[in-house]
Amino acid sequence: MPTATVERRDFARYDTDVPAMVASSTMRISVKMLSVSAGGAMLRMDRLSSKVFDDATFTVEIPGIGRLTANRKWRRDTDMGCKFDVSDQDRLRLSERLELHFGRAKPQLQLATANAPRP
């Protein structure tokens, strides 16, 4: 009998679609950050940048969050996944900052007024 696999994450992941900067010792490029967690991020480069940027270690500058050292984990065409190189304590602080910056407000229940008696 097959068992269902459950994706387990240590930290919340946020779909972002915001601009960010990636810098290495040789270049600095603008990217679009598609998602982020305290563990890492998924970045999208333009075609030209994806052809010339091949560094394994770099910094990611996220507006409102700061600069983080990162290591490339995977690369597909113009998309790249990276893992942040931070201590466990810094990762917890980063998780809180990401929640404040990118967290979504929980949906609020509203009372239905369609059938309410008129005053």
**What would the pLDDT profile of 52-71 be if each residue is shown by its tens digit?**
898 999 999 999 999 999 99
Closest CA to 103 of 39, 37, 22, 47: 37
Distance separating alpha carbons of residues 32 and 12, to the nearest angstrom? 19
pLDDT digits (tens, 9 = 90+) for 73-116: 999 999 999 999 999 999 999 999 999 998 865 555 555 555 55
Output the pLDDT for position 1.
Answer: 44
Query: What's the chain's length in residues?
Result: 119
- Inter-CA distances, 41 with 7, 76, 95, Å: 17, 14, 12
Output the pLDDT for position 110.
Answer: 53
Distance separating alpha carbons of residues 42 and 35, to the nearest angstrom? 5
Distance separating alpha carbons of residues 40 and 98, to the nearest angstrom? 11
Report the Cα 24 to chain-centroid distance in Å: 19
